[in-house]
Structure formats: C-alpha cells, structure tokens
Amino acid sequence: MPELPEVECLTRAVRSVILGKKLDEMVFHRPDLRWPIPMQDLRELIAGKTILSVERRSKYLLIETESGYAIIHLGMTGNMLFSPEATGRWNHTHASFRVIDDSGPVGYLHYVDPRRFGCILCSSRDALSQHPLIRNLGPEPLETEGLDEILYQRSRGKTVAVKNFLMDAHNVVGVGNIYANESLFLAGVKPSRKASAVKREEWTKISGAIKSVLTAAIQAGGTTFRDYKHVDGEPGYFELSLSVYGRDGDPCLRCKTGISSSRIGGRATYFCRRCQR
C-alpha cells in the first residue's frame, strides 16, 4: 500500500505536471471505485479551472481550484501516471484528465487502480475541513511542532501496542506499517509495548525517528513494491534502505542479532530483540 512518502513523492510529481494549468476534460471509464465517483460535481469544481495548488493531507492528494478540491486516494494499488496519450496504456485505467496550458493540450493524467480500493471524490472550498475523510485526521508528522508531546498525551491510558497506536491516523497520519517498523527500530522501542507504557523521553525519540525515516524515504523516492510507481511510471527506491522491515532472520544492522518477526494487529512486524526494549 502506498504510504505517506510515496504519496508525497507522487504529489510533488503531479504538482510539477499540472500546477497553473487546467484539467479541461475528464473521462471516467467506470462509475465507481471504493465509492461512487461524483463525476458532475468534479466537472463543476475542477474542470476548466486553473490549478492553484496540489497538496497532500495524510495519504490524500488534494487538487485545488478557485471552486474546490478533488480528493484522490490511491487505496492499496492505485497510482496517477502522466502520458501524452488520451487512452492510458496501463491496464485498470479508470479515469483520465486532459491537462492544458495557454498553448493547448500538454498531456493526460491517468488514474490507475487494479484493485479499485482508492477513490476520486471532491469538496467545495469551505467544506474541505469537515469532509468525512479529512475532519478526524491526526497531525502531519513532518509539519507538526511538539509532535512528541502530542503523542505522549494521546497515548495516556491506551493499552494498544505502540506500533498500532502509531498506525492509527487519528493519532498521527501517514505512519503505515513499513515506516512504523522502521521508526520504532530507530527509536529503540519494542513495537508490542503498550502505548501508555512508553515514557515521555521515548516519545521524543519516536517522533524524531518518524521524521527522520519519512524524510529519508521521501528523499529516496518512496518504497519499491510491486504496484507503486512515480507519475512517470518509474519506481521508488527506498526499499534498499530498510533496516528491519522484511528482514526476518537477517542480522541486525546494529548488533548482528537476527531480526525477529511477529504479527501485531494482524500486520507483519519486524524488530530486534536486543536493540528494542
């Protein structure tokens, strides 16, 4: 599943393609993805209007015009790919948007999603903050000052494993399974510990580790897995730098102890028994 670094990289790539331009034609090849696509509302709010910004909120891509926002989520296998062709050359292309500038058409942005767990929705400008997918999201980890104190306070009385606590977007957004594993390793905190048992000073380490891991992932271009690619179709490369995720039995990069694995909340979890307490 694309996580925050992948979506941030894609957001920047899409921004470079469409910012200041217009999406003047919208072709939908099916009426729904995870939810019905509000085709008429999207055309009224987005089509033919100058793109003022392309931003990310959690794992949602937000395309802004003077009238409102397109809200796009990649689900488990979604992507947005740019092509000079009106018909996407990729299987499972469900929507296509023609990009134009003052000189005319410059290409097409295609939404591709084999499993159709993503979404293409929209919101008026004044309603975005109260949109059901947006209003209950936690703080952005890379932009929030005092994240350690926020996480410490929110974890009080929580008996859930600290890894699951971090993966809950109500507490902090964008820390999916891969980066929760990596951040807790960097911070030296065992992922199965109760969130309420994590000390204040440990939350400082965890919040710093989250920022370091996510920043490194963004700089490296995201994590390469079978479905994720950039807007030009090229894959990300952060998988090469993973410290624990997927390394069950391999020697720890710090102490050489074999990396252990378990399942927490039904998700694969990787950690070092010696380095993480």
Reduce the secondary structure of the chain to three states and give it as a string. CCCHHHHHHHHHHHHHHHCCCEEEEEEECCCECCCECCHHHHHHHCCCCECCEEEEECCEEEEECCCEEEEEECCCCCEEEEECCCCCCCCCEEEEEEEEECCEEEEEEEEECCCCCCEEEEEEHHHHHHCCCCCCCCCCCCCCCCHHHHHHHHHCCCCCEHHHHHHCCCCCCCCCHHHHHHHHHHHCCCCCCEHHHCCHHHHHHHHHHHHHHHHHHHHHCCCCCCCCCCCCCCCCCHHHHCCCCCCCCCECCCCCCECEEEEECCEEEEECCCCCC
Using CA atoms, how far apart are residues 150 and 207, in angstroms rounded to an integer? 10
Overall residue count recorded for the chain in this entry: 277
Active site residues: 2-3, 59, 267
Is the separation of the CB atoms in 175 and 4 below 8 Å? yes
